[in-house]
Amino acid sequence: MSVFKYEKDADGIVTVTMDMTGPVNSMNEEYRVAMGETLEKLESEEGLTGVVLASAKKVFFAGGNLYDLLATPKGEEAAFFEELEVHTKPQLRRLEKLPVPVVAAINGAALGGGYEICLCCNHRVAWDDKGVIVGLPEVTLGLLPGGGGVVRMTNMLGLQTALPYLLEGTRVKAADAKEQGLVDELVATREELVPAAKAWILSQKDNPDAAVQPWDRKGFKIPGGNANHPAVAQLITMAPPMLRQKTRGLLPAPEEILDCAVTATRVDFDTALRVESRGLTYLVTTPVAKNMISTFFFGMNRLNGGASRPAGVEPQKVKKVGILGAGMMGQGIAYSSAMAGIEVVLKDISAEAAEKGKAYTEGLLAKRVSKGKMSEEQKADILDLIKPTADNADLQGCDLIIEAVFENIELKHKITKETESFLAENGVWGSNTSTLPITQLAEASSKPENFIGIHFFSPVDKMPLIEIICGEKTSDETLARAFDYAKQIRKTPIVVNDSLGFFTSRTFGTYLDEGVRMLKEGCHPVQIDSLGKAVGMPVGPLAVYDEVSLELTRKAQQTWKEMGVEDAHSDAAITREVVATMVEEHGRGGRYHGGGFYEYAEDGSKDIWPGLFDLYYNADVSLPEQDMKDRMLFRQVIESLKCLQEGVLRTVDDGNIGSIMGIGAPTWTGGFIQFVNTYGVQNFVDRCRELAAQYGERFEPPAIAVEKAASGEQFA
C-alpha cells in the first residue's frame, strides 16, 4: 500500500494525501517511489480534471532528508547529481506538466523541498494558521534549494524580489505569504483546504492556461526582466560585491544561490534546473554544509527537544518573576518575561531607577506599535505586567527571582540574604552572572539546591541564548525549572557546570586575550581586528574589548583576585598588563569610558587611538596572516575542548550552539567543537602543535582531542 493515498471524486479530481512512514513527509527513497507510482497513475488516469496535493501530517512536507545529505561524502558527487537529475527533478517536472490543474493544500509548514513541491503546483491554498509557514531556508544549512526552488522562485517573482527569500532563507507565515504572492489563497480552517482546492480547479475548467505553469507558456517573460534588462543587469553587477561584503567569502551557499538565480535569467528553464543541480551537488559535500547541518538542524533540534533537561521532572511555568537590578540586563530580562505573559516585579534601589527600567520595555513596545506589529491595547497589557519598585516586599510570592546586579560577590551575597525569603515555597533563585562561580554565590543562600546561574546575553531582547549554570548543590528540579523558564521566554538554553567564566565568557575571553597578545607583540591594531573579522567573528577583538569595557575587565580581575582565583584562563598575564596600562596609566577604559583601543567621534565613527602605536606597534613585526587568523580561532576552539574535557560543558551540542549564539562563533564552523570534525581531528592536533611550537604552550592540543585523533573518532 502506497504512503500516498489516492482518491478520485465524481468530478474527476484526484486528491493525493501524503502520509509517509515516520513523523513527517520528506524527500527520501520512500517518497521517490511513492511519487513515481503516483505520477504514473495520474498520467494514465482517464477523465482526470485536476489534482490536489494534501498531507496527513501536521507538517505539510518537511523537505529533503538531511540524514542523507549529511552522509554524502566527497567523491560521491556524480551519484548525487544523477539522483537529482534522474529522479527528484524529473518527477517534479512531470507533476507540473500534468495536463490538468494541480493545487497544493498547505495545512502546515512547507519549507525547503516541501515548498518546492508547492511551487510545482498551479495554485497554492494555505490554512491561515500560525503553524503554517512557507519558504526556502536551505541557505541557513549551507545548501541551496536543489529541487527547482531557485529557478522557480526567480521565474515566479523576478530576480530582485526572489533574492531575499533565497539568500536569507526567510520563513513566511501564511497571511504574509498570501500578501507577498507565495501562496494564492487562504482558508480559515484546515477542513476547508481540500474543498477550496477543488473549488478552484472546477472554476478553471474553461481556462486552458490553468494547467500550464507561467514559465511553460509561450511568450513568458520573467517579472522585472531577464539578464538583458537594464535594471536586472545593474543588479547582477552590484549583487556579488554586496554579498561578499556580507559573507566575507566564508559562506559558499549564498554565492552559489546568487549564481544559480542569475543563470535562471539568462538560459532556458530546464538548463537552469540543471545548473541548480550542479550547485547543490557542489555544496552538499563542503565542510561548511556539514557543519551547519550538524549544528543548526540536528544539534538545535536536540537542544530544543530538551536533551539537556533532566528527565522525570514535570514541566512548570513561571507565573511571577522578580528581577533585581533595572539596569541594561535587568530591563531586558523584564521585557522578555513580560512579552511571554509573565508577571514581573522589577526592583532597584530607587523607584525612579525601577521606572526607568520599565521605560525600556515601553520604548521597545512603542516601536512594535509604530511598525504595525502590535496594537496599543496589547502594549498596555504587557506594560501592566511590569511592576517597578524599590520595596523588597513586592517580591513576595515570586516563583523565580533573578539577580542582575554588578559582578561583585559581596554585593550579590548581600542581596541574596536580603530578598531570598520573599520567594514562594520551593522558588528558584537565579543569578545573572557572566563569570562568578555559582557554588560560591550559593553560599549566601539558605537553599543552595534551589540556586542556579541564569546567564543572559546583551541586548537581552535580541540575543537568543541563555547559559544555565549548575552549582555543586543545584538540584535537577531547579535545573528543569530554569530550563522551562528559558523556553517560556523563547530563548534557547544551554546547560553547563560550574567554573569561573563558565563556558561562554571563559571561551570568549581567549579571543580577546589573543588579540591583545598580538597587539603587545607589535602587530598593527587594524590588521588584528580585520583578521578577526576575516575569520568570521562579528567584530575584531580590540573593538569588542572596547564594547565589553577594559574598565570592567580590570574590576573583574580585582574581584577574582579578592576571591582567591585567577582569570578564567590561566595564562592572561599579558592581558592584565595591557589592561592596567590602558586604564590606569592612560585612562582608556573602553567606549563608555571615553575611549579605549579606539577613539569615538560624535557621528558614531571610530579610529584607532594613536597612543597604541607609540605603546605597542612595531613596524618590523610581520606575522603570517594565516597564523594570526588561526591563533584567534584556535584559542577559542582549544578552550571549548578544555571545557568539554573538564566537564564544564555537558554535551557537544551545548558547546556548538553556545559558541554560535553566545560568543558569535563563525557560522561556517557550525560551532567551535564541530569545526574540529570537518577540519579533521588529527589535522587539528597537528596544527595546534605547530602553533604551540611557534607561539606558546597555550596552543597545545587538549588531551581529549589527542585521544579522539588516536581512535579515529569525531566529537558527537
Q: What pLDDT score does 559 carry? A: 66
Q: What pLDDT score does 566 carry? A: 56
Q: Say if residue 714's pLDDT is above 50.
A: yes
Q: Is residue 158 part of a domain?
A: yes
Tell which residue, 685, 653, 651, has the closest CA to residue 670. Answer: 653
Q: Is the CB of residue 133 less than 8 Å from the CB of residue 183? A: no
Q: In this structure, are 386 and 264 located in the same domain? A: no
Q: In this structure, are 511 and 475 located in the same domain? A: no
- Of 233-237, 560-564, 571-575, the one with minimum mean pLDDT is 560-564
Question: How deeply is 314 buried, as exposed, middle or buried, from its count of CB atoms within 10 A (0-12, 13-18, 19+)?
Answer: exposed
Q: What is the mean pLDDT of residues 352-362?
A: 97
Q: In this structure, are 224 and 263 located in the same domain? A: yes
Letter for the amino acid at 383?
L
Q: What pLDDT score does 561 carry? A: 66
Q: Is residue 651 part of a domain?
A: yes
Q: Is residue 590 part of a domain?
A: yes
Domain housing 530: 505-711
Q: What is the mean pLDDT of residues 401-418?
A: 94
Q: In this structure, are 29 and 105 located in the same domain? A: yes
CATH classification of the domain holding 426: 3.40.50.720
Residue with the larger pLDDT of the pair 281 and 500: 281
Enumerate residues 6+ apart whose C-beta is below 8 A from 694: 627
Tell which of 465, 500, 535 closes a domain: 500
Q: In this structure, are 238 and 346 located in the same domain? A: no
Determine what percent of the chain is predicted with pLDDT higher than 90.
93
Q: What is the mean pLDDT of residues 322-337?
A: 97
Letter for the amino acid at 393?
A
Q: What pLDDT score does 472 carry? A: 97
* CA atoms within a 13 Å half-sphere pointing along the CA-CB vector of 308: 33
pLDDT, the chain, mean: 95
- Of 22-26, 149-153, 323-327, 705-709, the one with minimum mean pLDDT is 22-26
Helix (H, G, I), strand (E, B) or coil at 534: helix
Query: pLDDT band at 568, cuts 50/70/90?
Result: very low
Q: Is residue 364 part of a domain?
A: yes
Axis crossing angle, helix 504-520 with helix 541-548, rounded to the nearest 10: 120
SS3 for 408-431, per residue? CHHHHHHHHHHHHHHEEEEEEEEE
CATH classification of the domain holding 560: 1.10.1040.50
Query: pLDDT band at 604, cuts 50/70/90?
Result: confident
Q: In this structure, are 103 and 246 located in the same domain? A: yes
Q: Say if residue 436's pLDDT is above 50.
A: yes
Q: In this structure, are 273 and 397 located in the same domain? A: no
Q: What is the mean pLDDT of residues 582-595?
A: 94
The Cα–Cα gap between 501 and 567 comes to 8
E-assigned strands of 296-433?
Answer: 320-324, 343-347, 386-389, 398-403, 423-431
Q: Is residue 302 part of a domain?
A: no
Tell me the C-alpha to C-alpha distance, in Å, between residue 295 and each of 27, 86, 504, 555.
Answer: 21, 30, 17, 36
Tell me the C-alpha to C-alpha distance, in Å, between residue 209 and each of 102, 103, 124, 206.
Answer: 12, 14, 16, 9
199-230, pLDDT tens digit by residue?
999 999 999 999 999 999 999 999 999 999 99
Tracing cell 598588563 back to the chain, one arrives at 577
Q: In this structure, are 574 and 480 located in the same domain? A: no
Four-residue CA torsion sign, 543, 544, 545, 551: positive
Q: Say if residue 567's pLDDT is above 60.
A: no
Determine what percent of the chain is predicted with pLDDT higher than 70.
98
Q: In this structure, are 355 and 428 located in the same domain? A: yes
* CA atoms within a 13 Å half-sphere pointing along the CA-CB vector of 290: 16
SS3 for 275-309, per residue? HHHHHHHHHHCCHHHHHHHHHHHHHHHHHHCCCCC
* Number of structural domains the chain divides into: 3
Q: In this structure, are 518 and 488 located in the same domain? A: no
Query: pLDDT band at 701, cuts 50/70/90?
Result: very high
Task: List the beta bridge partners of residue 431.
Answer: 403, 453
Q: Say if residue 103's pLDDT is above 90.
A: yes
Q: Is the CB of residue 360 less than 8 Å from the CB of residue 329? A: no
Q: Is residue 297 part of a domain?
A: no
CATH classification of the domain holding 89: 3.90.226.10
Cell readout for 586 is 592612560
Q: In this structure, are 463 and 578 located in the same domain? A: no
Query: pLDDT band at 192, cuts 50/70/90?
Result: very high
Q: Is residue 294 part of a domain?
A: no
Q: What pLDDT score does 570 carry? A: 47
Q: Is residue 311 part of a domain?
A: no
Tell which of 240, 258, 285 closes a domain: 285
Q: Say if residue 37's pLDDT is above 90.
A: yes
Tell which of 469, 500, 531 closes a domain: 500
Q: What is the mean pLDDT of residues 618-636?
A: 97
The Cα–Cα gap between 533 and 536 comes to 5
Task: Give pTM, 2 decimals.
Answer: 0.93
Q: In this structure, are 143 and 240 located in the same domain? A: yes
455-477, pLDDT tens digit by residue?
999 999 999 999 999 999 999 99
The Cα–Cα gap between 715 and 595 comes to 41
Q: What is the mean pLDDT of residues 597-605?
A: 93
Question: Where is 511: in which H helix or E strand?
Answer: helix 504-520
Q: What is the mean pLDDT of residues 282-308?
A: 96
